[in-house]
Amino acid sequence: MEYKNGILHVRNLYKKFEGVEVLKNINFDLNEKEVLVILGPSGAGKSTLIRCINRLEEPSSGEIIFNGEKIDKKTDYNKLREKIGMVFQKFNLFLHLTALQNITLPLKIVKRKSEEEANKIAIEYLTKVGLKDRANHYPIQLSGGEQQRVAIARALSLSPQIMLFDEPTSSIDIELIKDVLDVMKNLAKEGMTMIVVSHEMGFAKEVGDRIIFMDKGEIVEENEPEEFFKNPKTDRAKQFLSKIINI
Amino acid sequence: MGFDFNISLFIESIPYLINGAKYTILFSIISILFGIVIGLFASLMKISKNPIFKIIGNTYIEVIRGTPLLLHIMIAYYGLAAFNIKLDYFTAGVLALSINSGAYCGEIFRAGIESIEKGQMEAARSVGMSYGQAMRFIIIPQAIKRVIPPLTNEFVAMLKDSSLLSIIAVPELLRNARQLMGTKANVWSPFLGAALIYLVLTLPLTRVASALERRFSKGGV
């Protein structure tokens, strides 16, 4: 098969919202253990693109091949989503559950773990993101940075093959962003396959293996991070980078 | 005749009125419980993506809310009897009140469910939960607290509106008051007695509601 090397392949992907094309002919591949960073101005279609991957959005046409298998109507989306973790801009922790329960509930329902096993796994991942002591706090009692780290732990606890990050630091107070980025950096170091939609240029440069730059629903440029920031190939990327201060 | 209030007649009528109030309470509690169950299904149908469920849920809610409860009571009692389904006043009363309150509870639940932030459902789906699991474990538990105040209003309305059951001779509070008016030839004593008892029933309910709200509140939601 032509797709045996990469873990994820996107081919000719289009997405229309009420007649408006928000994704146009998207093509890219993702290899195992790779960190792909998607950059671009707001409204470029970055979030829509990664939401198509775990089928929170249904693409209008095109193909996504995951683990060598095409995702289509016959795919069990619930099983697919167990294997593709997602972290949201607004954290989306379950507000009526504690940090610990946010992790144990999916483990119990989706992975059919016992209470005891689920607790053990949850503590393990909370420790990993440095929040073991917040296990019994409700989301409202946690800072944005802490909520996001719990959300990352929740996604990781299901042992996904790919992690999708949808602007994970955009809703977080500036002084707390570093803690979240550190967790993500460690994850990358451990070899997690990641797609990160972000405005964190520092992270893209330091951790990213590859950059995809999007504008107006299209992939405008695909490049190595070093090259992308030093010598962007396209004018649109140059323009975008010139507007960003903290590189 | 004028204002014919008579304190001794008033006191005398209270036990008989309380007897009626027992029916008022019984009908209201049974019917709101059925109404909650019916309403939950109606709301889930109404917000479902399945067009057939959607139409059923919508039609039920709109038809019931657009027609008077008195008519529902008459249909349950006289209308069904015309098809030889002869229900006693108890069954007919509970049926009419339950179906009526089911529609109002349905709208309450729909509003409660739709008030939960969209990200909660997305997060639940993103960790591999099915739509049903997400509803059951994430959305509905958070919606419960929000529907308690309007459900309390619905129950208060039910306590008062069950007086319409007097039309099919259910011996509830207001019917007993009317009977006393006839037998005692006095208007104001039994009716003020009935008013007092309705207030005793309805006023504490707001307190019960806030206690329930606290009970179901978790994580400030």
B142-162: pLDDT as tens digits: 999 899 999 999 999 999 999
**Residue B195 to chain A, least CA–CA distance (Å):** 41
- Give me the residue from A81, A141, A158 closest to B125, CB to CB: A81
Q: What percent of chain A stands above pLDDT 70? A: 97
Which has the closest alpha carbon to B38: B104, B116, B135, B119?
A: B104
The percent of residues above 90 in pLDDT, for chain B, comes to 90
- A205 vs A203: CA distance, rounded Å: 5
- State residue B206's pLDDT score: 80
For an interface test with B, give the residue of A53, A109, A111, A142 to mutate (most B CBs within 10 A).
Answer: A109
Look at phi and psi of residue A145 and say left if phi exceeds 0, alpha if psi is from -120 to 50, else beta: alpha
Mean of the pLDDT values across residues B105-121?
97
Confidence at A1, pLDDT banded by 50, 70, 90: very low
Q: Do B129 and A106 touch (CB under 8 A)?
A: yes
Of B128, B141, B219, the CB nearest to A110: B128
Percent of chain B with pLDDT over 70: 100
Across chain A, what does the average pLDDT equal? Answer: 94
Strand pairing class (A218-223; A193-197): unpaired
Complete DSSP assignment for chain A: -TTSS-SEEEEEEEEEETTEEEEEEEEEEE-TT-EEEEE--TTSSHHHHHHHHTTSS--SEEEEEETTEE--TTS-HHHHHHHEEEE-TT----TTS-HHHHHHHHHHHTS---HHHHHHHHHHHHHHTT-GGGTT--GGGS-HHHHHHHHHHHHHTT--SEEEEESTTTTS-GGGHHHHHHHHHHHHHTT-EEEEE-S-HHHHHHH-SEEEEEETTEEEEEE-HHHHHHS-SSHHHHHHHHT----
Q: Give residue B131's pLDDT band: very low, low, confident or very high (50, 70, 90).
A: very high
pLDDT confidence of residue B201: 94
Chain B CB contacts of A139 under 8 Å are 219
**Quick check: A154 contacting B, CB < 8 Å?**
yes
Q: Give the pLDDT mean for B180-194.
A: 94
d(CA A209, CA B206): 60
CA distance A69 to A46: 23
Cα A9 to chain centroid, rounded = 16
Chain B positions touching chain A (beta carbons under 8 Å): 117, 119-120, 122-130, 133, 137-138, 141-142, 218-221
**Side chain identity at residue B192, one-letter code:** L
Which pTM does this prediction carry?
Answer: 0.88
Over residues B159-178, mean pLDDT? 94
Q: Rounded mean pLDDT of chain B?
A: 94
What is the structure's pLDDT at A245? 58
Residue A106 sits at φ, ψ, to 5 deg, of -60, -35
The minimum CA-CA distance between B123 and chain A, rounded to whole Å, is: 6
- For residues A27 and A9, give the distance between their C-alpha atoms in angstroms, rounded to a whole number: 8
* Confidence tier at A106 by pLDDT (50, 70, 90): very high
CB contact, 8 Å: A75 with chain B?
no
pLDDT greater than 60 at residue A119: yes
- To the nearest 10°, report the CA torsion of B78, B80, B84, B86: -70
A197-238 tens-digit pLDDT: 998 999 999 999 999 999 999 999 999 999 999 999 999 999
The answer on pLDDT for B104 being more than 50 is yes
CB spacing of B127 vs A139 below 8 angstroms: no
Residue A244 has pLDDT above 80, yes or no: no
Q: Tell me, what's the pLDDT at A4?
A: 58
Q: Taking residues B85-108, report their average pLDDT.
A: 96
Write out residues 41-70 of A within 8 Å (CB-CB) of B: 54, 56
Of B119, B127, B142, the CB nearest to A106: B127
**Which tokens hold the place of A231?**
């010598």
Residue B215 — pLDDT band, cuts 50, 70, 90?
Answer: confident
Per-residue HEC secondary structure of chain B comes to CCCCCCHHHHHHHHHHHHHHHHHHHHHHHHHHHHHHHHHHHHHHHHHCCCHHHHHHHHHHHHHHHCCCHHHHHHHHHHHHHCCCCCCCHHHHHHHHHHHHHHHHHHHHHHHHHHCCCHHHHHHHHHCCCCHHHHHHHHHHHHHHHHHHHHHHHHHHHHHHHHHHHHHHCCCCHHHHHHHHHHHHCCCHHHHHHHHHHHHHHHCCHHHHHHHHHHHHCCCCC
The pLDDT of A138-153, averaged and rounded, is 97
Does A94 contact B123 at a Cβ distance shorter than 8 Å?
A: yes
Residue B167, pLDDT > 80, answer yes
Residue B196 amino acid letter: L
- Cβ atoms of B171 and B19 within 8 Å: the answer is yes
